[in-house]
Amino acid sequence: MRIGLLGTGNVARALAQGWRAAGHDTLLGSREPKERTDLGLPVADLSGATAHAEVLVNATPGNVSVELLRSIGAPALAGKVLIDVGVGLTDDYTELSHPNSSLGEQIQEAFPLTPVVKTLCTMDSTAMTAPDGLEGPSTVFLSGDDAEAKRTTGRLLTDLGWPPSSQLDIGGITTARGQEHFALLFMGIAGGLGAHTFNIKVVPRAAA
Q: What is the CA radius of gyration of the chain?
A: 16
The answer to whether residue 138 scores a pLDDT higher than 90 is yes
Please give the model's pTM, rounded to 2 decimal places. Answer: 0.96
Tens of pLDDT, residues 6-57: 999 999 999 999 999 999 999 999 999 988 888 999 999 999 999 999 999 9
Determine the pLDDT at residue 89. 86
The pLDDT tens digits for 106-124 are 999 999 999 999 999 999 9
Residue 144's Cβ-side half-sphere holds a number of Cα atoms within 13 Å equal to: 25
Residues 123-151: what's their mean pLDDT? 97
Superfamily, domain 2-193? NAD(P)-binding Rossmann-like Domain (3.40.50.720)
3-class secondary structure per residue, 80-119: CEEEECCCCECCCCCCECCCCCCHHHHHHHHCCCCCEEEE
Is 96 a residue whose pLDDT tops 90? no
Residue 88 banded pLDDT, cuts 50, 70, 90: confident
